[in-house]
Amino acid sequence: MKHRVGVIGFFGSVRDARRLIPDGCELTALCDVKEHLLDRCREEDPGVFCTADYRELARRGDVDSVVTYTPNETHRDIAVAMLEGGKNVFIEKPMGISLRQGRDILEAERKSGKYVAVDLEMHVTGVGPEIKRILDSGQIGDVLHVEFDHHRGPWVHTTPSGLYRTRKRTGGLMRMEGVHQMDLFRLFAGEVRAVQSFTAPNALRHYEIPDNITVIVWFAGGAMGRYTLNQTRSPYFSDNWDPRCKDYGHSVRWRVTGTKGALLADAWRTYIDILQFQEVPGGNGSVRPHFVRRLDFSGLDKPMESFYEDMVGCRRLFLQRMAAGLPPLQRAEDAFRSEQVAWAAEKSGFEQNQRIEVPPDWEG
């Protein structure tokens, strides 16, 4: 029997929803608040159940797992309803608009015996696992420092309901976008002990949240980190994902320095460069980094998406593992810990740039 899947949001037709469905699974239900979309889907395939009420989907016996793409303020209620209905559920990040909502989801997961996965796609697809494999191989030694720079253009008023630019809908820049990098920082260098954030005055007058942030990170193991996100660099002369943007300021780059060498990953140009420290000729004890090799991912289908931000692939991977009876590659407890770090970084930015300790039971 195939694993039966419901989809909430993230589709424009039945055919579109089925792009999320891997082998061994079948689409049985769709949910969206847009009734005209549901009417079209009913006509397209009467065999797929359609509803505007997620609670109705949660009660159905012909759905084993649900994948969602909905606004932040709905994540807790939808996830809890699906778990109480005996379903595994995949939700967007953040897990809620407060850390309390995230804890509610974890408690519901524990009681249900089912699984929750959170869309921190770079943790399980593309660049995150690639860097982690290099680090685990010992090629650059023990991690000493992790850096991330992301310069891009802003979200504008056409973004639905201020989802990415208002404090009410996002909680802030780190909670909406920076959580990905705090998650990767933890994947690369271990648990975070403390954070301290700095913001400059906003240039974007339609933003209610900082349009720039730099976070200093202290890891429990002694490594350090720096994260910079700025939304004023890349021009909006065309679609923000136009490949030309990489020449007009849009950059997405990681740097990791270890005891034996370093690596540089560039998401736009889809490569990872590996360097290793070698002694300088002369026997004076000095070392300097030498280029060793480049891992080039430009041959991938849709290289930027596949290497950097494969949201569809992340959902398909979740369903494959649910169909096989396996837990998600990243458990919800781990995703929640990354959210705690991101929320602490946001809090520091809003509150006079104070350094904030982040114990495992941090409540925000």
Domain boundaries, the chain: 3-118, 123-308+338-357
Average pLDDT of 255-275? 96
CA triple 181-351-255, angle to 5 deg:
25
Same fold, 3-118 and 123-308+338-357: no
Average pLDDT of 135-162? 85
Digit-coded pLDDT (tens) for 9-48 = 989 999 999 999 999 999 999 999 999 999 999 999 999 9
> Is residue 246 predicted with pLDDT exceeding 80?
no
Peptide bond between residue 71 and the one before it cis (omega within 30 degrees of 0) = no
pLDDT band at 133 (very low <50, low <70, confident <90, very high): very high
Q: Evaluate whether 322 touches 305 at the Cβ level (below 8 Å).
A: no
Q: Which pLDDT belongs to residue 276?
A: 96
Sign for the CA dihedral angle at 105, 106, 108, 113 comes to positive
Q: Which pLDDT belongs to residue 122?
A: 93
Q: Which pLDDT belongs to residue 191?
A: 97
Which tokens sit at 187?
Answer: 């994947």
Q: Evaluate whether 183 touches 266 at the Cβ level (below 8 Å).
A: no
Within its chain, how far is the Cα of 56 from the centroid?
Answer: 28
Beta bridge partners of 166: none
> Is residue 247 predicted with pLDDT exceeding 70?
no
The strand pair at 65-68 and 88-91 is best described as: parallel
Q: Round to whole Å and give the CA distance between 126 and 252.
A: 14
Digit-coded pLDDT (tens) for 194-204 = 999 999 999 98
pLDDT band at 241 (very low <50, low <70, confident <90, very high): low
DSSP string, 30-73: EE-S-HHHHHHHHHH-TTSEEES-HHHHHH-TT-SEEEE---GG
Q: Was domain 3-118 assigned CATH 3.40.50.720?
A: yes
Which of 281 and 163 is assigned the larger pLDDT? Answer: 281
> Is residue 177 predicted with pLDDT exceeding 90?
no
Average pLDDT of 130-157? 92
What are phi and psi for residue 252, nearest 5 degrees? -140, 105
Q: Which pLDDT belongs to residue 240?
A: 52
Q: Round to whole Å and give the CA distance between 296 and 222.
A: 31
Sheet holding 88-91, edge to edge: 49-51, 25-31, 3-8, 65-68, 88-91, 116-118
Digit-coded pLDDT (tens) for 301-358 = 888 888 888 889 999 999 999 999 999 999 999 999 999 999 999 899 888 889 999 9
Give the chain's end-to-end CA distance (angstroms, integer). Answer: 44
The pTM of the full predicted model, rounded to 2 decimals, is 0.92
Q: Cβ–Cβ contacts within 10 Å for residue 294, how many?
A: 10
Q: Was domain 123-308+338-357 assigned CATH 3.40.640.10?
A: no
Q: Round to whole Å and give the CA distance between 141 and 130.
A: 16
> Is residue 289 predicted with pLDDT exceeding 60?
yes
Average pLDDT of 283-296? 91
Q: Which pLDDT belongs to residue 171?
A: 62
Q: Round to whole Å and give the CA distance between 240 and 157.
A: 14
Average pLDDT, the chain: 91
